[in-house]
Each structure stands twice: as structure tokens, then as C-alpha cells.
A and B are shown apart, each in its own frame.
Chain A
Amino acid sequence: MSGILWHLANVAGILGVLLTLAGGLIMVERRLLALWQDRYGPNRVGPFGLLQVAADMIKIFTKEDWTPPFADKPVFIIAPCIIMATVLMSFAVIPFGPTVGVADLDIGLLFFLGMSSLGVYSVALAGWASNNKYALLGGLRATAQMLSYEVFMALSLMGVVMLAGSFNLRTIVNAQQHLWFCVPQFLGLVVFTVAGIAETHRVPFDLPEAESELVAGFHSEYSGMKFGMFFVGEYLGITLISALIVTLFFGGWYGPFLPPLLWFALKTAVLICGFVLLRASMPRLRYDQLMSFGWKIMLPTALLNLLITGAVVVARHAS
């Protein structure tokens, strides 16, 4: 009985923390961006502008939730749900601490890859169902971008799998007790980070919603909480990618002195700030640059990493 209760507490706790975090990140990102760009950012509502999130939430909930008459209604409504569902499901396999985590799947990493590939439907269907040329173009761009970056996202992780000998994320964390995988898998880390940014379509890979050419891309027609779900989905995506990088390359919950859960949170927070710093400092790429960068530089790098790691693992087995 206490086992089931502990499990339920786990699920509720993780969901609660994640959803609060996704809301809070909006304010954190605005403040950090402002700091790096030498201005104040939102600092009027509450102490240090902390209540800005609450104000934004009230605003977005009370806005008219309008479905355009020319849109394909069921698909239009289902699209923002898909991104939230797939990202939140992916968190199920992440081990936040030695005893914290929802599911201990042997195919954990594959589960994440499956969920992230299902997430593509969200943008593709949103673009199609809006029945608007800008939304369609944004959706097409997003689909092509996510499909191509998924390929070497998966490939870059196979080095980690080879070293740990398992797809289970808990086993992968335990394999990093003495040496974090960011050292032997540095190439994998770089490729995965780039692919992760592209999967969440953040700057510099935010071509699907390039406002200078596509209004707002695939979510042009969305308003109210449906738009809010895309927005929160993006922040959850950033948190997910950061948490995965910590799990796969930076030793998960391992660290001296502090409790494991705190280490995990600290490492993830640092990576999220890194994502924000990227947004503050990088210009947006051109679409053909993005594609050729993916296929001509990132894919060969991922394959090279796979080849070298495979050779090292085989040689170590032989000796």
C-alpha cells in the first residue's frame, strides 16, 4: 500500500514541480534576457517582478479562446494537446534521484525518442489545421527540421548506450559514478545539445516561428490557452532536454556534499540558463543553412562519434 502511495506522490510531485517550473521559466527567461541585454525586464509586479507570471496567467486565461471558422476544428484543438502530452510523458522515464522517478523502463531512452518523434505531429497538424499559408509554411519548416534533427539526435545517444550497455536511464546514471560521460562522449554531447535545441525550435533554430517572414509560423491562428499550451510546451521541452543532458552526460544526481535531488536540479538549472543565454546572444539562421548544417556537419560528426566509441568499446573488451 505504501508503495502505491509513494508512487502516486512521485507522479503528483513531479507533475506539480514541472508545471510550476514551466510557468516560472517564462519570467526567469525574461529577466535573464533583460540582464544580458542591459535592461531591467519585468520588475514591477510583486517583489522582483515575481508575480508577473501570475499576471500573465490571468491575462491568458481570460482571453477569448477563438477557433477560426476556416480551420479544421478537431485537428486544430488536438494539436496543442499533443505537444504537452508527449513532453510530459517523456518525463516519466527520467530518474530525478536514486528513489525519485515515475517509470523504470528498460527501453527508457527509446521511449524518449519515440515521444519526441510523436511531438512532431503537434506542429505539423497545427500548421495544416490552421488553414493559413503562414501557418502551413511554418508547419512544413518545423516538420522538415525536426525530422532531420531527430536522425542524429538518436545517433548521438548511441555512444552513451554503448558505454553504459543499456537503454535504461537509471543504469546509464549509475554507469557515470566515477566518470561523467561528457568526457568520453564530448562529441555526442555537442551533437545532442544542438539537436535538442532544434527539436524544441529555440533560437537560433526557431525558423518555424520566424516572425519577420511567417507572422508567428504554425501558431499564428492560436489564441488564449491553446497558444499558452504551445508556449508552456516549449518551456517544458527546454526543461526536458536539459534534464536529459544532465542524465546522459553530467552524471544525473551524482555529486558531492549536497543531496542527490538538489544536484539534479542545480545541473538542470545551469543548462536551462545556458539555453536562455543562447537566445540572448545568437542570431537566427537561414533555413538552407540550418538544413545543410544538420546533414553536412552534424550527421557525419554523430557517425564519427559512433565509429570511435564502437572501436574503443570493442578494443577494451578484447584486452
Chain B
Amino acid sequence: MNAVFYIAAAVAAVSTIMVVSRSNAVYSLLYLIVSLLSVALIFFVLGAPFIAALEVIIYAGAIMVLFVFTIMMLNLGPQTAEQERKWLSGRAWAGPSILVAILMAEMLYVLWGGDHQVEGRHIVEPKEVSVALYGPYVMIVELSSMLLLGGLVAAYHLGRRVHGDGKEQQP
């Protein structure tokens, strides 16, 4: 199982680098989807199949589709890719690279200390997640549902079309 973990982690890292370095927005998104799928596999191997499934359904399957949908609707031509390529010049990489190098050094330091294990994991079933959510964390579930309802009402308000004569039209 350790090999699966390392392969998935490598795919995730490489695809994430590709997300940042592509100049075509759709290619970036496709790599981001691959990255999310490999993270889902990592969750699965680490003993959280429920989170893995949610990662695929919600992130890869719903949110990313919306991103692709928006990009399709805007239908940006090749000139945007050209513009993006100009932004990705060598100098622009300097700042992020230094920051990432610091993170990398920290991670290597932590890994050096040992105390990390893929084995000895505990598999979390959907039932356990639900019991935790609707037991001690029920307040957070309710609050986030209120937040979502607020978002829904706001989207409805923004989506309303107002005609020239001031009359409102149902969306």
C-alpha cells in the first residue's frame, strides 16, 4: 500500500506543478482535476474512503466542472494564452520559488525526525463521519447550512434581471 501512496503523491505533486506552469487555462484545469483525483486516492489509501469519495464528487466532479463551464462560456481565444505566457516569465517565478523552497526545507526537517507512518491507520467509515457530524458538531452543520442558504438567496437576487421600465423579471 505504501507504493500506491508514493505514486499517488508523486502524481499529485507533478500535476500541481503543471497547473501553475501551463499558459492555457483549460490545460491548467485538467491538471488540477488530475491532482484532485490523486489526492482522493491518497485519502483512500490513508483509510478515509468517505473523504476520498467526497473529494471526487464535490471537488473534481462539481466545482471543477463549474470552472470548466465558465471558461467554456467565456471562450477565451489564443491571445489570452499568449498574455498568460508573458506573465509566466522567469522573474515571476523567483518569489514563489523561494517560499516553496522554505516550505520544502521545513517538510524535509519534519520528515527527518521520523514519526510519520502510513501503516497503523484507522479506517473511517461513512457512519463514523455522520455520527461525529450530527453529534458533537451539529451546531457547525446547522451554521454552514445557514451560510449556504444565504449564498442561495444572494445568487437569486443577483441573477434577477431588471428591464428598462424598472419591472423585474423572474430569472
Contacts and interface: CB of A to CB of B under 8 A. Distances in A.
A140 B69 CA distance: 7
Interface in B133-157: none
Contacts, number: 72
Interface in B8-59: 26-27, 30, 33, 49-50, 52-54, 56-57
B72 A117 contact: no
Given A105-B49, A124-B65, A124-B68, A117 B75 contact: no
Given A117-B61, A124-B69, A110 B53 contact: yes
A34 interface: no
Interface of B is mostly: helix
Contacts of B53: 107, 110-111, 113-114
A154 B62 CA distance: 12
B72 A75 contact: no
Nearest to A143: B69
B107 interface: no
Nearest to B65: A120
Interface in A111-142: 111, 113-114, 117-118, 120-121, 124-125, 127-128, 136, 139-140
A262 interface: no
A144 interface: yes
B151 to A, nearest CB: 15
B72 A128 contact: yes
Interface of A is mostly: helix
Given A106-B126, A124-B72, A147 B50 contact: no
Contact of B126 (A107, A121, A139, A154): A107
A136 B53 CA distance: 30
A147 B65 contact: yes
B37 to A, nearest CB: 8
A300 to B, nearest CB: 14
Contacts of B65: 117, 120-121, 124, 143, 147
A42 to B, nearest CB: 37
Contacts of A127: 72
Nearest to A86: B61
Contact of B73 (A107, A140, A167): A140
B49 A106 contact: yes
Which of B49, B54, B61, B126 lies at the interface centre, i.e. has the most chain A CB atoms within 10 A of its CB? B61
Which of A105, A117, A127, A147 lies at the interface centre, i.e. has the most chain B CB atoms within 10 A of its CB? A117
A147 B54 CA distance: 16
A72 B62 CA distance: 23
A72 B71 CA distance: 15
B102 interface: no
Nearest to A109: B53
B134 to A, nearest CB: 12
Contact of B26 (A75, A111, A113, A143): A75
The 5 closest A-B pairs by CB, nearest first: A117-B61, A110-B53, A114-B56, A114-B57, A107-B53
Interface of B: 26-27, 30, 33, 49-50, 52-54, 56-57, 60-62, 65-66, 68-69, 71-73, 75, 125-126
Given A120-B61, A128-B72, 13 more contacts: A75-B26, A75-B27, A106-B125, A107-B126, A110-B50, A114-B53, A117-B61, A121-B33, A125-B26, A128-B71, A143-B69, A147-B69, A150-B62
24 contacts: A75-B30, A106-B125, A106-B126, A107-B50, A110-B50, A110-B53, A110-B57, A113-B57, A114-B56, A117-B62, A118-B61, A121-B65, A125-B26, A125-B30, A127-B72, A128-B26, A128-B71, A128-B72, A136-B72, A140-B69, A143-B68, A143-B72, A147-B69, A150-B61
